[in-house]
Each structure stands twice: as structure tokens, then as C-alpha cells.
């Protein structure tokens, strides 16, 4: 197995960096029960390991959990922290398989937590820009604090570059069913501190080539292309065609389908688009109407 990119870190170093970051985060949790669940049931995967292999700056660390119970415990813990600071009425909806953050009244997208971050003074700020990028850059003064700074339906962003994803849970293979590009599928597990580097992911990294492995969210994948292309990645026409074929099977004029497809898209403007769709008679939502409000928002 390839262990090191010529410009990046060795596997041993990556393991040490991830373990240190994870242990700092886990020790910041002041509820012993929640802390123990996190220590046993966390997976770190996504772009952070790719960045370290390439010798690039890590923007954030994406944390997932192997079971629903841990998602629920962590979600309720940080909602409590966030609402105590801001007063915004939020709760965790986990009646079915899905775990998501909603307003206390049950209507998604109606609190500032959907489109705002919490600044150093504990005040809500409008965030009509790339939300992840803004939250990633929220560093603590002094030692890391790992305080919640942004809440969305699907995830909790903490200061000091920790992103907790509640939308999906399970073992690594289950989580990666929702991933789109091969290079993001390396992972680290908290239960034993092991790092898994997958050959197909390493090949894509070495070539800086986007290899689309299929996703439940192809619309999000297309939008994400902009970020990778700006960073010098390449993609061939066949990979784009695979995304288009999956998108062709979707009814994007259905607001519920469109909202689900925009899971993980960072721009707050899309949240505003979804708000307008919720207020519109579904019978009147068509491609022309969507184009109109998208042009207005962007």
C-alpha cells in the first residue's frame, strides 16, 4: 500500500495528528456519558486526510459516528450549548432513521442557526457567504475550545475546525455510500486509532483527479466541482457524464427533492432559495420559476 505522497505526510504522522486533534475535542466535552460515546464511536474521514497526504492545509476535520445513539447524544449536547448561548429555539428530531436539527416548532429553515454563525461575543451574525469556510476559520484565542459556532439541519460546526455530521452514521463503508469522489474515502477510527488508506483513493490523490464513484447527492457533487477545479484538480468528461445521468433521474422541481440534493452545499444563498420554495404553491414550482429565484438570489 502507498504510504506517503512525495509532498505530504506519512501515515504514521497522519495518525498522530488525528489522534491529537480528536483527543483535544473529546476532552472538551463536559458530559462524561457523551464523551465516552464519542471516544468509542467516531470516524474521521473526508478531505482532511487527503489534505495531509498532499501536504496541504487542513480546512476542517469531518467527524461521523458509527451509531444513531451517539449522533443523538452529541446532537442534544451541542444544541443545549448553542441555545443556552443564543436563545434560539432548536431541538433534535430523531424519530425515524434520520437525525436532524429543527426549530422548536418543527419547521426547518426558520432560525438564524440555519444562516448564521456565533461570533466571539456570543452574538448571531448573518452569514451570506460560504458557511463552512467562515466557520472553519473561527479559531479560539489560546487553547482550542471546540465551541459550537454554526448549526444547520445536518451538521454542527465547532470552532477550531471541527465539523460534526449528523446526517449520516454507520461504519465507514456505509458513510462512504454518500460520498462522491474517491480521494475522500480514507478514514481514521477512534475505537482503535487505526488509519485506513484505500488504494483507489491514493491513486486519485496522486493524479489530483476527481473520480466520481456515485452518490445519492449528484447535484451537490456538481456544485462542489468549482472548489476542486480552483485548486488545480482535473476531471474527465466521463465522470461529469456519470453525474448528469444520476441527476437526470431526479425531479428537481419537487422542493423536497431539491432540498435533499442540496445537503452539504455550503452557500447560504441556497438556504434562502429553499425558504422561498416552501412558501410557494408546489403546483406552481417549475423550472422557469426555479431559474427566476436562483438568478435573483445569486
3-state secondary structure 65-116: ECCHHHHHHHHHHHHHHHHHHHCCCEEEECCCCCCEEEECCCCCCCCHHHCE
Instruction: Yes or no: say if 45 and 178 are a contact pair by the CB < 8 Å rule.
Output: no
End-to-end Cα separation, the chain, in angstroms: 45
pLDDT for 49 equals: 97
Contacts for 231 with CB less than 8 Å, ≥ 6 apart: none
Q: pLDDT per residue over 255-265, tens digit each?
A: 888 888 886 66
Task: Specify which residues 71 forms β-bridges with.
Answer: none
pLDDT, tens digit (0-9, with 9 covering 90-100), for 126-145: 433 344 444 445 666 668 88
Sorted by where each begins, the domain ranges of the chain are: 11-203, 208-297
Euclidean distance between CA atoms 273 and 286, whole angstroms? 14
Please indicate, yes or no, whether the overall pTM of this predicted structure exceeds 0.85: no
C-alpha cell at 35: 464523551
Q: What digits encode the pLDDT tens for the residues 268-287?
A: 667 777 777 777 777 777 88
Predicted confidence (pLDDT) per residue in 224-259, tens digit: 899 899 999 999 999 999 999 999 999 998 888 888
Amino acid at each position: 500500500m502507498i504510504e506517503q505522497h512525495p509532498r505530504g505526510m506519512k501515515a504514521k504522522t497522519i495518525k498522530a495528528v488525528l489522534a491529537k486533534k480528536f483527543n483535544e475535542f473529546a476532552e472538551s466535552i463536559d458530559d462524561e456519558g457523551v464523551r465516552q460515546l464519542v471516544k468509542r464511536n467516531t470516524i474521521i474521514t473526508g478531505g482532511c486526510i487527503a489534505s495531509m497526504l498532499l501536504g496541504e492545509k487542513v480546512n476542517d476535520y469531518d467527524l461521523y459516528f458509527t451509531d444513531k445513539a451517539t449522533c443523538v447524544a452529541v446532537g442534544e449536547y451541542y444544541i443545549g450549548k448553542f441555545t443556552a448561548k443564543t436563545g434560539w429555539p432548536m431541538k433534535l428530531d430523531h424519530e425515524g432513521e434520520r437525525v436532524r436539527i429543527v426549530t422548536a416548532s418543527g419547521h426547518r429553515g426558520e432560525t438564524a442557526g440555519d444562516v448564521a454563525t456565533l461570533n466571539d461575543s456570543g452574538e448571531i451574525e448573518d452569514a451570506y457567504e460560504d458557511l463552512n469556510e467562515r466557520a472553519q476559520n473561527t479559531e479560539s484565542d489560546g487553547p482550542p475550545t471546540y465551541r459550537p459556532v454554526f448549526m444547520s439541519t445536518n451538521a454542527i460546526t465547532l470552532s477550531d475546525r471541527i465539523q460534526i455530521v449528523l446526517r449520516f452514521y454507520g461504519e465507514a463503508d456505509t458513510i462512504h455510500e454518500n460520498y462522491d469522489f474517491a480521494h475522500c474515502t480514507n478514514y481514521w477510527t477512534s475505537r482503535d486509532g487505526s488509519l485506513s488508506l484505500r488504494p483507489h483513493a491514493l491513486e486519485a490523490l496522486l493524479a489530483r483527479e476527481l473520480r466520481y464513484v456515485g452518490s445519492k447527492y449528484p447535484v451537490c457533487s456538481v456544485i462542489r466541482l468549482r472548489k476542486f477545479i480552483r485548486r488545480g484538480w482535473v476531471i474527465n468528461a466521463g465522470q461529469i457524464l456519470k453525474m448528469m445521468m444520476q441527476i437526470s433521474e431526479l425531479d428537481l422541481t419537487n422542493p423536497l427533492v431539491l432540498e435533499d440534493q442540496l445537503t452539504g452545499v455550503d452557500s447560504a444563498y441556497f438556504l434562502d432559495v429553499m425558504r422561498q420554495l416552501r412558501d410557494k404553491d408546489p403546483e406552481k414550482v417549475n423550472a422557469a420559476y426555479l431559474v427566476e429565484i436562483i438568478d435573483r438570489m445569486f
